[in-house]
Amino acid sequence: MKVLVTGGLGFIGSHTVVELQNEGFEVVIIDDLSNSSVDVLEGITAITGKEPVFEQIDLREKASVQEFFKKYADVSGVIHFAASKAVGESVENPLLYYENNLGTLVYLLQELQKKDKAHFIFSSSCTVYGQAEKMPITEDAPIQQAMSPYGNTKQIGEEIITDTAKVTNINAILLRYFNPVGSHESAEIGELPKGTPQNLVPFITQTAIGLREQLSVFGDDYPTADGTCIRDYIHVVDLAKAHVKALKRLIDNKNESNVETFNLGTGKGNSVLEVINTFEKVSGEKLNYKIAPRREGDITEAYADTTKANDVLGWKAELTIEDALASAWKWEKKVRGKE
């Protein structure tokens, strides 16, 4: 079956393309290369022995989206990663986020609704829960007022898909990621943040390799054991495998309703200091960091209740945070030619 992966040259997208091709799916990638590089195609090919079809398209151009679906009329499965995802940037430039994350989603769904049957998997985020009351977080935890336009586009995106699936032949799965980290063990693909990394793990590896002077730990006065925030860091390869499981569930019509939601995490929380200590252990590097003021908008704690993903989706994270940090470090060294 031919599957469209939008944002397929990005961090999670490229790892998902690898797992799809490993499972025999034929993949077509759309990417606008705004936050990725065409070199990622080589990495995917090196790992799987197969080069996916690649179309450089800006999904904000409705005509280009229509063109694509005319050219690839046999695509009936879409895994939609393409979106802007920097929380801070979304506050500065909300319209960029509403256009790029929601306008494009509408254009894709408008094409899919013309098909007899279509399967749609949406890259959502635990950010929709805000600071959840209860840990671990289940899929029926209340959706809280978004803390940023980025988070709002995930919430609205889920609503657009839910409303559309009700009245079309599109069945959909919403995957709410916790914190994706790590890289493929081959170090052929990995996280390639452009500019200064917003996220913790790439900042750690860039500090350890000497690209960044020092890591700032954003606050150690949170109500947690060591005062730093807790997150559920899930290996990107485990996350990628969950997408293949979700797609197969839709193709085999196993979904119990036309829209299902799954939290994708390990079910375990780690604090920032625990991540730093684990990184030092697996890398043998001493990390240069300091305690800095809290970052605006950060929540204290989030980790997933993985019961539904385990029991219904039939997926469970297998890799550990040690695996993730070791692979992230191996990738960093390779990218900086220090392997």
User: Which residues are designated catalytic?
Assistant: 150
Comparing CB distances to ligand WQD, the nearer of 113 and 144 is 144
Binds ligand WQD (CB under 6 A): choice among 15, 85, 243, 245: 85
Distance separating alpha carbons of residues 29 and 17, to the nearest angstrom = 8
Look at strands 2-6 and 26-31 and give their pairing. parallel
Q: CA angle, corner 239, sides to 208 and 14, nearest 5?
A: 75
CA distance 79 to 92: 28
What x-and-dash track marks residues 41-80 binding ligand WQD by CB under 6 A?
----------------------------------------
Angstrom distance (rounded) from CA 41 to CA 52: 7
Interface pick for ligand WQD out of 80, 176, 231, 235 (rule CB under 6 A): 231
CB of 147 to ligand WQD, least distance (A): 8
CB of 139 to ligand WQD, least distance (A): 16
Q: Of the ranges 89-97, 216-224, 262-270, 311-319, which one interacts with ligand WQD (CB under 6 A)?
A: 216-224
Q: Is 217 a residue that touches ligand WQD (CB under 6 A)? A: yes
Per rule CB under 6 A, is residue 316 in the interface with ligand WQD?
no
Number of H helices, E strands in the chain: 12, 13
Q: Which of 319, 321, 327 is nearest to 184 (CA)?
A: 327
Question: Which member of 81, 203, 262, 303 binds ligand WQD (CB under 6 A)?
Answer: 203
- Work out which of 173, 229, 240, 273 binds ligand WQD, going by CB under 6 A: 229
Q: Please report whether residue 224 would count as binding ligand WQD according to CB under 6 A.
A: no
Q: Is 198 in the site for ligand WQD (CB under 6 A)?
A: yes
Amino acid at 189: I
Q: Which of 57, 137, 200, 273 binds ligand WQD (CB under 6 A)?
A: 200
Enter the tokens of residue 186.
């081959």
What is the footprint of ligand WQD within residues 270-299 (CB under 6 A)? 272, 295, 298
- 230-231 vs 270-271, strand pairing mode: antiparallel
Binder of ligand WQD out of 66, 94, 186, 218 (CB under 6 A) = 218
- Residue 68 Cα to chain centre, angstroms: 24
Choose between 92 and 339: whose C-beta lies nearer to ligand WQD.
92
**Residue 274, helix vs strand vs coil:** helix
What is the chain's alpha carbon radius of gyration, rounded to the nearest angstrom?
Answer: 19
Q: Does 127 bind ligand WQD (CB under 6 A)?
A: yes
Q: For ligand WQD, which is the closer residue by CB, 107 or 177?
A: 177
- Does position 241 bind ligand WQD by CB under 6 A? no
- Min CB(116)–ligand WQD separation in Å: 32
Distance CA 253, CA 271 (A): 39
Give Cα separations from 106 to 6, 27, 80, 109, 321 (angstroms).
14, 22, 12, 5, 36
CB 36 within 8 A of CB 173: no
Looking at residues 133 to 162 of the shown chain, list those that interact with ligand WQD (rule: CB under 6 A).
none
**Chain positions contacting ligand WQD, by CB under 6 A:** 85, 87, 125, 127, 179, 198-200, 203, 215-218, 229, 231, 272, 295, 298
